[in-house]
A and B are shown apart, each in its own frame.
Chain A
Amino acid sequence: MVLSVTMAYQDDTYYIDRILKHADQNAFAGLVNKHKTMAFNVALRITKSREDAEEVAQDAFVKVYQSLPQFKGDSKFTTWLFKVVYNLALTKIRKKSLVSGSTDEEHFVEPAGEQIFDTIAKMKEKEQKKHLSEAIATLDETDQLLVTLYYMNDQSVEEISEITSLTQSNVKVKLFRARKKLHDELHKNLQHELHSIL
């Protein structure tokens, strides 16, 4: 059984109103606490360094706070925040000359079978996490980011497209490809494990 402890947070508009209308600094702290983990993970997928990711995510919150009066609410607050995080993370790695990977679309492949995901789901929680982490780590930075936003934070393809400035079809292709790669990696890891046992 998986237990998750989540704090009860208000809607983003509540915090934004308190910050703008009442200059409530505690409300901004609440907003940071609510989104810090996801912002940090978005940055981490790009920078691959905890220190850089933390700095990027913090700078993104600073930038967002300073630009909050200009936020019109046309898109979700998180879409705006993660877009800022994403851009700052890209700037960070460009500065470090560590940009790698390709954003070219690849050929479509046959959809992955579901059996491997079901097999993993039957494993113990610790094992599941280990296999998933290893598989996700084999994806390139952009694909890791897309998987994080799409599967872990329930962002839609449209929102991810807005955050990353990729076209919606490109996001879909990349997610499909990432999903297939995850499937293949999990399959390979499990087979390897089976061989080592036998």
Chain B
Amino acid sequence: MNQLPNKKDDALSSLIKSNNMLEPVSDQFTAGVLAKLGLELTPPKVVYEPVISKTGWILISVISTIIVALAMFGTTSEAISPAAATFDLYMRQAGSWFDALANNLSILIISILSLTVFLLVGVESVYRRSRLKAA
């Protein structure tokens, strides 16, 4: 009796499958179907995320505050730990600039104002994010 060979073992099957014998459909096909039904695709929702996260702002603020505080009040050479000593060394290397900053009143005022603006922007960003979430 003549029977169709098992598809898995059929040489013709693997030959046809290895060659894509299907004709491509036009690019406008799906749009055409939706138009016939009077449907429209809804664009995916765009969620805007701030470039710097809340944690990032806090970290930047803390680091900036520490740097400015160190620049203003400085440290003595009596380092209490190797890490502090290394940090102190780097700070001393950049000391001339920080000294100038601490000794020059106008630069000091500008720095404090900049830091204030920086912190306010950070707080505003956190507030805006909490408002977005609430909405």
Residue of B whose beta carbon sits closest to that of A45: B23
Contacts of A172 in B (CB 8 A): 3-4
Is the pair B11, A32 in contact by a Cβ cutoff of 8 Å? no
> Which residue on chain B has the smallest CB distance to residue A25?
B39
Q: Which of A59, A61, A66, A147 has the most CB of B within 10 A?
A: A61
Answer whether A176 and B3 are a contact pair too, CB < 8 Å, given A33-B30, A132-B15.
yes
Question: Which of B4, B7, B15, B33 is in CB contact (< 8 Å) with A32?
Answer: B33
Decide: A121 and B15 in contact? CB cutoff 8 A.
yes
Binds B, one of A34-42, A90-98, A187-195: A34-42
Interface extent on A, as a size class? 35 or more
Determine if A36 and B15 form an interchain contact, defined as CB atoms under 8 angstroms apart.
no
- Residue from the list B17, B29, B39 in contact with A54, Cβ < 8 A: B29
Asked if A114 lies at the interface with its beta carbon under 8 angstroms from chain B, I say yes
- CB contacts under 8 Å to A, within B14-50, are 14-26, 29-30, 32-34, 36-37, 39-42
Instruction: Kindly state the separation between the CA atoms of A129 and B16 in the bound complex, as whole angstroms.
Output: 8
**Could you mark each residue 1-13 of chain B with 1 if its beta carbon is under 8 Å from any beta carbon of chain A, else 0?**
0111101000111
A38→B22 contact, CB < 8 A: yes
- Judge whether A62 is part of the interface by a CB distance below 8 angstroms: yes
Specify which chain B residues have a CB less than 8 angstroms from the CB of A167 in the assembled complex. none
Least Cβ distance of B79 to chain A in Å? 58
Add 4 more A-B contacts to A25-B40, A36-B29, A37-B24 (CB < 8 A). A2-B18, A40-B25, A58-B29, A147-B16
Binding site for A on B (CB under 8 A): 2-5, 7, 11-26, 29-30, 32-34, 36-37, 39-42
Measured CB to CB, the residues of A under 8 A from B are: 2, 4, 25-26, 28-29, 32-33, 36-38, 40-41, 44, 50, 54, 57-59, 61-62, 65-66, 108-111, 114, 117-118, 120-121, 125, 128-129, 132-133, 136, 147-148, 150-152, 154, 157, 172, 175-176, 179, 182-183
